[in-house]
Amino acid sequence: MRPAILNPLFADITVLTGVGPKIAALITRAAGPRIVDLLLTPPTGLVDRTFQPKVADAPEGRIVTLEITVDRHEAPPKGRRLPYKIICSDETGFLTLVFFHARADYLIKQLPEGARRLVSGKVEDFNGARQMTHPDYIADPEKPGDMPLHEAVYPLTAGLSAAVMRKAAAQAVARAPALDEWQEPNWFAKHHWKNWKDAIETVHAPSAQEELSLLSPARQRLAYDELLANQLALALIRKARVKTKGRAIKGDGKLIAIAKKALPFSLTGAQTEALKEIFADMRSNERMVRLLQGDVGSGKTIVAFFAMLGAIEAGAQAALMAPTEILARQHMESLSELAAATGVRMDILTGRDKGAARTEKLTRLKNGEIDIMMGTHALFQEGVAFKDLALAVIDEQHRFGVRQRIALTQKGPKPDLLVMTATPIPRTLALTAYGDMEHSRITEKPPGRKPVDTRAIPMNRLDEMIAAVKRAAAEGNQAYWVCPLVEESDIIDLTAAEERFESLKAVLGDRVGLVHGRMSGPDKDAVMEKFYRGDLSVLIATTVIEVGVNAPNATIMIIEHAERFGLAQLHQLRGRVGRGDKQSSCILLYKPPLGETAKARLKVLRDTEDGFVIAEEDLRLRGAGDFLGAAQSGFPRFRLADIAVHGELLAAARDDATMIIDRDPELRTPRGEALRTLLYLFSRDDAVKLLSAG
């Protein structure tokens, strides 16, 4: 149970003064629905009112605080549209205060003639006269406390005013309780950090630009807390899993030896290494949960197949689940020769299987007459039962949810799990997202691949590109054409893609196909299938083309508005071509002019085809927020930490978490109790539950 001391923080923001249902909806969009969300959303800017020049010296457009004398109120305006004006001055010049829709009695009270006042806001020049429209603050110089010299600026959303958000955040901060320290005493002392409550107060009350820095001591402390909560939760989940004993799968190596002979090539060093790690896991009687990362085309499928052979040698079964039907069929086809050579009985189960044929397949599966079952989501549905599933492999795992992963592993007695992804993830990110898994990386491509000729070309040469695609199609080549991805609106995406579809159809006739995010799965599959069979020369796509699909004749990848894609995405897209033995090219169409970062990003892509290098660079160039924004979902979003900046803190948090689990596995010591509070603070109730379950 969440410690009572945290309960006030988990109350709804509507308990705050000035936050009704309407405002609450806006704050929820900007920060979250609970008070703790406000606490954990740091300000991103600062209004500084300490600059107090004389009227004559006040620069236009910058926030200034001026001490003036109120000379006189002009006669109230006749029309409602006209402003109410108050003439003021200091010894250097005049300043007119301007108010629209003002109430004269209120202004006379606030700014009586002859009084001295502090006014703060932006000064403009209007027809040669200095004026300030609607000052942010009006205060008596005798009571300067009425005007804050510094104000935090929070991330906002349309309709939410800075002042409303600031007031809500201030109330949240005022509710922050003092909490027992969960940080390791030596580490804490070494950094001269403040306690949690002080750090929260400091971060929410910046008084200088550098206090907004991700590297300010208070922010670092809070970032570390967030990272520690993440790493500790992952460590607990991992430990709980290891404790549930798996089974030791030991093959005799016979099938693998046959398969190796039958292969027309030998495994790369990276593939061999990954297999060694996988087999070591399978042999142990702990449950394997391993992530296999490797670029598109790095040869993960063969690795998975060999791992599955290991399970079959041990007399058990294996499953391979892919996100789409077409991908599952491709795996089936590409492995059929090896299956025949080894005598492995392989079959496929998808949503298309119905009625008697399906029943018959399921019976054979249940009786152990199928060794490897390939398939889609259909694999983990009810009614699907294995005789003895020992290894489940999931391809393109980010396309599946955790629940689906679990559903598949429930088809056997604690089967080992191998998940694969072609999205290289920076090391830091892998730690935060997949810290509960073991990792293998295939960093080397099979020999003989021709690098893809990658070029950045401005959009105004579009006609040339269309002509080039036409020539290539005439020679029997195929091209992918990816249209802009505007996250805000798939309707705009769709229009852009449909326009491109029309313009290419005018040139190429019915050899052009279109897939987009609003099509149903089967419709999409049908178009993809046509492209894969060679019935289409050009495939236009709005969404990222189905991962993993292999069309060896596709030699051209054109990406419109390449500047809008993440580097990792561009790299993934490029990986669709360059699979056959022909020279391939990737054209990055961009809208000029390109900013410096965009230029640097396109250069990285031209310079290397190593997905891991590209991922690290992308993270470095764009920072964690943007990187994650463009990446697939499923990555944790930190609010205080930024892994592009706080990489070292992350490494330390990981070590810290390991040590904690070692010394105080049930979090029973006083520090352990405080760490439980930390986990609850960051809503990692899931991890704490594993503790009480013992």
Residue closer to Mg ion by CB (options 65, 421) is 421
Q: What is the dihedral of CA 311, 315, 316, 321, to 10 degrees?
A: 50
Shortest distance in whole angstroms from residue 297 CB to ligand ADP: 5
Residue 69 and residue 95: Cα distance in Å, rounded? Answer: 10
- Report in angstroms how near the CB of residue 615 gets to ligand ADP at its nearest: 16
Cβ within 8 Å of residue 385, ≥6 positions away: 362, 365, 366, 411
In the complex with Mg ion, the residue whose CB is nearer, 206 or 548, is 548
Tokens in use for 560? Answer: 């419109």
- In angstroms, give the least distance from the CB of 395 to Mg ion: 6
Q: Are the C-beta atoms of 184 and 671 separated by less than 8 Å?
A: yes
**In the complex, what is the shortest distance from the CB of residue 615 to Mg ion, in angstroms, rounded to a whole number?**
17
Q: Which residue is nearest to ligand ADP (CB)?
A: 299
Of 70 and 322, nearer to Mg ion (C-beta) is: 322
In the list Mg ion, ligand ADP, none, the entry touching 389 (Cβ below 5 to 8 angstroms by class) is: none
Measure the CA–CA gap between 689 and 667, rounded to whole angstroms: 12
Q: Residue 442 Cβ, how far from ligand ADP at the closest point, in Å?
A: 7
Q: How far is the CB of 446 from ligand ADP (least distance, A)?
A: 3
* Residue 296 binds: one of ligand ADP, Mg ion, none (C-beta under 5 to 8 A by kind): ligand ADP
- Which residue has tokens 């189960």? 349
> By C-beta, is 172 or 322 nearer to ligand ADP?
322
Q: DSSP strand E in 63-108: where?
A: 63-73, 84-90, 93-99
Residue 195 near residue 189, CB atoms below 8 Å: no
534 torsion bin: left (phi>0), alpha (psi -120 to 50), beta (else): left
Smaller CB distance to ligand ADP: residue 269 or 509? 269
* Nearest distance from C-beta of residue 419 to ligand ADP, angstroms: 13
State the minimum distance, in angstroms, from the CB of residue 268 to ligand ADP. Answer: 4
**What does DSSP assign to residue 580?**
S
Q: Which does 587 bind (CB under 5 to 8 A by kind): Mg ion, ligand ADP, none?
A: none
* Residue whose CB is nearest to Mg ion in the complex, by number: 548
CB of 299 to Mg ion, least distance (A): 9
323: contact with Mg ion by CB under 5 A: no
Binding mask 571-610 for Mg ion (x = CB under 5 A): ----------------------------------------
Q: Which does 179 bind (CB under 5 to 8 A by kind): ligand ADP, Mg ion, none?
A: none
Three-class secondary structure of residue 88 per DSSP: strand
Q: Which residues contribute to the site for ligand ADP (CB under 6 A)?
A: 265, 267-268, 271, 294, 296-302, 422, 446
459 in Cβ contact with 591 (< 8 Å): yes
Q: What is the DSSP string of 330-383?
A: HHHHHHHHHHHHHT--EEEE-TT--HHHHHHHHHHHHTT--SEEEESGGGGSTT
Among Mg ion, ligand ADP, none, what does residue 462 contact (CB within 5–8 Å per kind)? none
With beta carbons less than 8 A apart as the criterion, state whether 653 and 639 touch. no
Give the Cα separation of 89 and 101 in Å (integer): 23
Helical H segments across 284-324, by residue range = 300-313
Residues 545-564 that bind Mg ion (CB under 5 A): 548
Query: Least distance from C-beta 508 to ligand ADP, angstroms?
Result: 28
Give the count of residues interacting with Mg ion (CB under 5 A).
Answer: 1
Question: In the 8-state DSSP scheme, what is residue 523?
Answer: H
Q: Which is nearer to ligand ADP, 292 or 473 (CB)?
A: 292
Nearer to Mg ion, 572 or 677 (CB): 572
β-pair partners for 294: 442
Q: Give the Cα separation of 497 and 515 in Å (integer).
A: 9
When the beta carbons of 220 and 397 are compared against Mg ion, the nearer one is 397
Alpha-carbon distance values, 407 to 350, 378, 393, 394, 601 (Å) = 16, 11, 13, 12, 39
**Cβ neighbours around 440 below 10 Å, total:** 23
Q: How far apart, in whole angstroms, are the C-alpha atoms of residue 599 and residue 623? A: 16
Task: For the CB of residue 474, give the shortest distance to Mg ion in the complex, in Å.
Answer: 31
The side-by-side arrangement of strands in the sheet containing 438-442 is 346-349, 372-375, 317-321, 389-394, 416-421, 289-294, 438-442
Least spacing, CB of residue 48 vs ligand ADP, in Å: 53
- Dist CA 209 CA 150 (whole Å): 10
- The residue among 438 and 444 lying less far from ligand ADP, judged by its C-beta, is 444
CB of 42 or CB of 548, closer to Mg ion: 548
- Closer CB to ligand ADP, residue 294 or residue 412? 294
Residues in the chain: 694
298 binds, among ligand ADP, Mg ion, none (CB under 5 to 8 A by kind): ligand ADP
Residue 598: exposed, middle, or buried by beta-carbon count in 10 A (0-12, 13-18, 19+)? middle
Shortest distance, position 304 Cβ to Mg ion, whole Å: 8
SS3 440: strand
Nearer to Mg ion, 222 or 379 (CB): 379
Q: Which does 265 bind (CB under 5 to 8 A by kind): ligand ADP, Mg ion, none?
A: ligand ADP
Within 490-549, which residues bind Mg ion (CB under 5 A)?
548
Residue 267 binding target from Mg ion, ligand ADP, none, CB below 5 to 8 Å by type: ligand ADP
Q: Which is nearer to ligand ADP, 422 or 568 (CB)?
A: 422
Q: Judged by CB, which is closer to ligand ADP: 422, or 650?
A: 422
Which among Mg ion, ligand ADP, none contacts residue 38 (Cβ within 5 to 8 A by kind)?
Answer: none
Which partner in Mg ion, ligand ADP, none is near 268 (CB below 5 to 8 A by kind)? ligand ADP
- H or E element in which residue 454 lies: strand 453-458
> Shortest gap between Cβ of 300 and Mg ion (angstroms)?
5
CA distance 21 to 63: 32
Binding interface with Mg ion (CB under 5 A): 548
